[in-house]
Amino acid sequence: MKIRINGTDADIRPETEKTVGEILSALEVWLEGTGHRLSGLGIDGTAMTTDSMGTCFGRDIDTVDILDIYTSSISELFAECLLHVLETINAYEAADFEEKGPLAIMWKESPAAKMLAEQNPGLSEWVTKTFSGEGSSPQALRTVIEERLRELREPTGEMERTTVLVADICARLEELPLDIQTGKDVRAAETISIFSGIAEKVFRIYSILRNTGFPVGEIKVGDLPINDFMAEFHTSLKELLSAYEQHDTVLVGDIAEYEMAPRLRGMHAAVLNAVKGIRL
């Protein structure tokens, strides 16, 4: 039996595997460490469908001449999942009241819903609640989904677009101690919220670059390898949020001004410079 992966002959020889299903199980274990997933299957030139997949799993490999295996990166599959969410939003907005319930059930049972729940539980819950009529408006959800798609499709451009946002929120972080001292509690809370959202976005784009094979491990923030920097950043972030919850205003101000602002600037600049091809 010849095995091809994405059309290219693969140097794979079955050892103890006797069925197509056993071959695929072994391959999936290997794929987990590559950032890819199984996305299609063909046997002797015939593409397998959802209905025929169960039968082909039990097929003896001695009865197969060519096994075509197709894989996609997690980023590609996630993008397809988000496109499915947008299509469902369109259908939901066009549906009558009686049609919205069945549409919500169809979403919950779809492969895209399972993929979204696996990759981003928080966003998955938001989507499910929206289609169940319990969450925010479909328009608000559409805005978020479109942003996530841009991050997947053009991470460099999306990182560039955050430059002004990062500069603005870092300036606000440096002003946070004064805001707290002068009783501007609403502005202080807003600063923490905006900072969390922007930091999450920078981290998401970093993760996308890593999953698509960009050598992010070579990036340094100052003299610190980025993996070590990320660990320190998360530690400081936990300390900031803990101090904020405990109303330790002095510690909140110090961490925001002297740790989070310079670190967010450094992280953003290092990743942006790397993806633009600038030698660090």
Give pLDDT tens digits along the chain (280 positions): 888 988 888 887 777 888 888 888 888 777 766 777 888 889 998 888 777 777 788 888 889 899 898 888 888 888 999 999 999 999 999 999 999 999 999 999 998 999 899 889 999 999 999 999 987 899 999 999 999 999 998 888 898 999 999 999 999 999 999 998 899 999 999 999 999 999 999 888 888 887 777 777 678 888 888 888 989 999 999 999 899 888 898 999 999 999 999 999 999 998 888 877 643 3
pLDDT value of residue 33:
65
Query: Would you give the distance in Å from CA 197 to the centre of its chain?
Result: 14
Cα–Cα–Cα angle for 45, 48, 53, rounded to 5 degrees? 140
**Inter-residue contact 107 to 113 (CB < 8 Å):** yes
For residue 261, what pLDDT is reported?
A: 95
- Token look-up 């430059």 returns 163
Residue 280: per-residue pLDDT: 35
What tokens appear for 218 in the block? Answer: 């070579």
